[in-house]
Structure 1
Amino acid sequence: MESWDEGEVRARIREMAARAPERARFGADTHRYELAPPLPEAEIRAFEEEHGVELPAEYRSFVAEVGNGPAGPGHGLMPLTVPRPEADEEWAVDDEWKEDRLPGRLAAPFPLTEPLPGRIDIPTDELTPGTLMLADEGCGIYMRLILTGPRAGELWRIDPDWGGFVPVSPGFHAWYTGWLQRL
């Protein structure tokens, strides 16, 4: 597993913010290039115990060593433990975040063994047990981290109208650092 350098990640985010003070980059108005402090180990462990899961190491170490969102791809990373502060308008992402935290949902078996490309005619809540929603990409498209089964640790994009439910990254580190490197 690749490790995180909190100072390097935060410096890169500051650089991104300085290059785009008008926040024109997609999602920047939502995450505002801000990164919350890392979570204490006890809080992460309590989350894992409460939900009966072991977070994939790359994501777990990010939350423990770098920050608990929101600066990140799409409209930013969803926080692991504390919901997004109340906004002026309700977002569908708030419901996704809350649904993920229903008892047993995160520990449930991930139902897919193969990607599901194209339009999805199955209710998305039947496809997402065993996954954690990480980011909202807008228009009902979400990045989900697989938590259970042989695909645990992979990031999949669910786009029910056009793109299906397909893998986009073998792990959190590659996905997040890819975002940091794009300008």
Structure 2
Amino acid sequence: MNTEQASPEDLALLRATFPAAGDHRPPLGREAVRAFEAAHGTVLPEPYRTFLAEIAGGSPSGPPAYGLLGPAELPADWGDDRPRREPGLPFPLTAPFMWEGRAWEEDDTDLEEIDALMDRVFDHGSVVLGTDGCGMNWHLVVTGPHRGHIWLVTGEGADPFGAEFGGTTAGSGFAGWVRHWAEGKDWYDAL
């Protein structure tokens, strides 16, 4: 997955999925994308960066179920009590992590550490692409080793999305995620 340069195949897929006459929002343009990046201390991965600049600034029809958000937007159920989002800070995970229902041993893991990790997973190193409802939010990681990968982040845990991580036949990254949705497949179609 090349996060520095968009492939012509990925851009063709995105343009076909979000045609100019579609119901999506107009593209943001290069200047607005650069302004977002400067304000948040990050450079968005390709092909998402070009998608925002040239194809669409979001889409009410998805993906995901409740629409594709712009890079500075959050789902309606996000809540006002969350810390400030910091996309430029490192995304803290490289493997699935489930915090709900985990048997904690007092001498093994401090619950305050888990709360702090959860805050970083929700608020650092990603843009929120949208929600499938009930706090099931799709994040595009923009910093760190998983830059360019999509993660499903919920109140129960966080899981990377793509065939190499299991559970789905989808390709990695933004284009693979959009392709999977456009083909009408269940997100986790390999379970």
Q: How many matched pairs?
A: 152
Alpha-carbon distance in structure 2 between the residues aligned to 1:41 and 1:96? 32
Query: What residue number does 2:137 align with?
Result: 142
What stretches of structure 1 of length at least 5 have no aligned partner? 15-33, 85-89
Question: Deviations for 1:125-179, whole angstroms, at most 9, x for unmatched residues?
Answer: 2323111111111111100111111110000001223xx2011132000001211
Q: How does 1:66-105 map to 2 (within 5 A)?
A: 66-70=55-59, 71-72=61-62, 73-81=64-72, 83=73, 91-93=76-78, 95=80, 99-100=84-85, 105=86
Instruction: Tell me which protein shows more helix as a share of its residues.
Output: 1
Q: Does 1:113 align with 2:94?
A: yes
Aligned-residue CA RMSD (Å): 2.9
SS in 1 for 2:132: strand
Q: How does 1:28-177 map to 2 (within 5 A)?
A: 34-70=23-59, 71-72=61-62, 73-81=64-72, 83=73, 91-93=76-78, 95=80, 99-100=84-85, 105-117=86-98, 119=100, 122-123=114-115, 124-128=118-122, 129-161=124-156, 164-169=157-162, 170-177=172-179
Q: 1:106 to 1:7 in 2, by over 3 A?
A: closer
Q: How far 1:3 sits from its partner (Å)?
A: 3.2
Percent identity, aligned pairs only, is 32
Report the structure number with the largest CA radius of gyration.
2
Alpha-carbon distance in structure 2 between the residues aligned to 1:97 and 1:57? 28
Alpha-carbon distance in structure 1 between the residues aligned to 2:81 and 2:176? 24
Contact 2:91-2:120 at 8 Å conserved across structures: no
Which letter does structure 1 place at the counterpart of 2:10? S
Bigger mean CA offset, 109-118 vs 48-57: 109-118
Contact 1:12-1:180 at 8 Å conserved across structures: no
Q: How far 1:77 sits from its partner (Å)?
A: 0.8
Q: Does 1:4 align with 2:6?
A: no
Which letter does structure 1 place at the counterpart of 2:76? W
Contact 1:96-1:133 at 8 Å conserved across structures: no
Give me the TM-score of the superposition, normalised by structure 1: 0.71
Contact 1:130-1:147 at 8 Å conserved across structures: yes
Q: 1:109 to 1:7 in 2, by over 3 A?
A: closer
Alpha-carbon distance in structure 2 between the residues aligned to 1:136 and 1:172? 15
Q: 1:12 to 1:38 in 2, by over 3 A?
A: closer
Which letter does structure 2 place at the counterpart of 1:45? R
Alpha-carbon distance in structure 1 between the residues aligned to 2:81 and 2:48? 19
Alpha-carbon distance in structure 1 between the residues aligned to 2:49 and 2:82? 17
What stretches of structure 2 of length at least 5 have no aligned partner? 1-6, 102-110, 163-171, 186-191
Q: 1:126 to 1:76 in 2, by over 3 A?
A: same
Q: 1:62 to 1:96 in 2, by over 3 A?
A: farther
